[in-house]
Structure 1
Amino acid sequence: MKPSSSTPLLRVRGVAKRYGDQVALHEASFDLWPGEVLAVVGESGSGKTTLLNAIAARTAPDAGSVEFLGRDGLLQDVHTMSQAQQRLLARTDWGFVHQNPADGLRMDVSAGANVGERLMGLGERHYGRLRCTAEEWLQRVEIDPIRIDDAPRTFSGGMRQRLQIARNLVTQPRLIFMDEPTSGLDVSVQARLLDLMRQLTRQMHLAAIIVTHDLAVARLLAHRMMVMQRGRVVEAGLTDQVLDDPQHPYTQLLVSSVLQP
């Protein structure tokens, strides 16, 4: 998925985070290219969510840099941006899909309002266009447009997660972060959601970083993967290579399902 350009979409170098005496993240580094999906895997407490939050500018790292390729073709460290610049980035070029959809949705306003809110944040005020775009996106994530005026609290868990995806993708972002997006869903619902995410990332040439403990999710969605243990990246490479021929003992344990999530 690496394009001909020598500049990645995201460049992460030496990102580290401590909580008191505990090292939560130890000098993580990687590049992410446009249209590439990266899975970050490991058991609970491995540091994968800490890494995701540091990359997405939701928490500030203690060391290191996270540079994002702007539409002007220049890399800029997101942690040196102002809060206003970070907020603009978060509602335009970035999306963030939470493990619990209630954290990423406004539960008491309509499904259509949830999707249209990001567009309104960019200045769209025409009610007809907002409603039309919301209906289109509900269809794209396999929600019947007849539910456009229903609140997400009336939706099933799988529908809420699909609505959260629509809310994030409506602004045509270039990078989306996903934190355990299939966790807590029934197996059949997971399969449907994963198929949808695979379709959308390909159609939109969308780069994504997916945190998961589920290696099946990584195999289905990700071009590359990183394996984390105790705050360190212990193995990284093409997804099929890592899963079919794991080199690090911890990865070997994960693949053989000795460790439980």
Structure 2
Amino acid sequence: MTDAPLLKANDVSKFYGNRIGCRNVSFELWPGEVLAIVGESGSGKTTLLNCISTRLMPTTGSVEYHMRDGAYRDLYRMSEAERRFLMRTDWGFVHQNPADGLRMMVSAGANVGERLMAIGDRHYGNIRSTAVDWLQRVEIDAGRIDDQPRAFSGGMRQRLQIARNLVTGPRLVFMDEPTGGLDVSVQARLLDLVRGLVNDLGLAAIIVTHDLAVARLLSHRIMVMKDGHVIEHGLTNRVLDDPREPYTQLLVSSILQV
């Protein structure tokens, strides 16, 4: 890790009329660090993720990102074009439903190759070779490169979405319930893959999950949300092994029974 945070959230709040999406959330994310945001449905974790990733405009607050030139930029003061470029290059976003993050009517290779073209690669041979390499890295047979994602299983679609996001060498990846809806055996394989890639590539990641076992396996730090507020925040093992807040204690006792 470097001596400067990659991302700084400052008092981020999002209101839907009188309803709180999230309120006064502040944290720093460091290069190579994985932060899990956990809580039950309706806790505000996905709203917060969407605000941090600029998919939603917060009601108040700011998020600063450490650009490759060393300067911090307020994400909400950037132009729409600048934010789109950041999403295509420095960031990735892995959706719970892979169909939301893939183009289902084009080939697996084209899904990966589109990200490369977005950063200026125009050499067909290089693009296809890189796509083959990434399919293999996410445990998809290279012979499926010309198949469309609609012919893939749910687990394969999620692995393809991960390849599409990581092929450009992003520094930060957002993941929204990346194992949601998958069979337990498929989840375990996917989690092992994600953990290996995050470690190998030195990625920073913000992962939203309701599954504390996922948070324990993947994250360095954890934020527990309830009713739009962060009620506990700390090193993952500390929070899960010695939860201080009654709500966190309830989550741990109800979810981590193995």
Q: Name the TM-score, length of structure 2 as normaliser.
A: 0.98
Question: C-alpha distance in 2, partners of 1:240/1:121?
Answer: 39
Partner of 2:84: 87
Rounded to whole Å, the distance in 1 between the matches of 2:246 and 2:107 is 48
Match of 1:129 among 126, 131, 134: 126
> 1:111-260 to 2 correspondence within 5 Å?
111-257=108-254
Aligned-residue sequence identity (percent) comes to 70
Match of 1:98 in 2: 95
Q: Which residue of 20, 35, 41 corresponds with 1:44?
A: 41
Instruction: Look up the SS of the partner of 2:26 in the other structure.
Output: strand
Q: Is the 8 A contact 2:36 2:208 kept in 1?
A: yes
| Secondary structure of the structure 2 residue equivalent to 1:61 | coil
Give the CA deviation at 1:76: 0.7
User: Could you say if the C-alpha distance between residues 176 and 258 of structure 1 is closer, same or farther in structure 2, counting changes exceeding 3 Å?
Assistant: closer
Paired residue type of 1:228: M
Letter in 1 for 2:118: G
5+ residue gaps in structure 2? none
One-letter amino acid matched to 1:72: D
1:74 aligns with 2:48: no
Residues in 1 aligned to 2:2 and 2:167: alpha-carbon distance in whole angstroms: 27
CA-to-aligned-CA distance 1:36-90 (integer Å, 9 cap, x gap):
0000000000000000000000010011111110001111111100000000000
Deviation at 1:4, TM superposition (A): 4.8
Q: Which 4+ runs in 1 deviate beyond 6 A?
A: none
Q: Distance in 2 between matches of 1:48 and 1:190?
A: 21
Q: Which structure 1 segments of 5+ residues have no match? A: none
CA–CA separation in structure 2 for the residues paired with 1:11 and 1:132: 36
Offset of residue 23 of structure 1:
1.1
- Structure 1 CA distance for aligned equivalents of residues 138 and 185 of structure 2: 16
The separation in 2 between residues aligned to 1:158 and 1:76, in whole angstroms, is 36
Q: How far did residue 191 of structure 1 move?
A: 0.2
- In 1, are the aligned partners of 2:96 and 2:175 still within 8 Å (CA)? yes
Distance 1:99 1:4, change over 3 A: closer
Number of residue equivalences: 256
Cα offset for 1:125?
1.0
SS in 1 for 2:254: coil
* Larger mean Cα displacement after TM superposition, 250-259 or 138-147: 250-259
Instruction: Indicate the RMSD between aligned Cα atoms, in angstroms.
Output: 1.0
Pairing partner for 1:56 from 43, 53, 60: 53
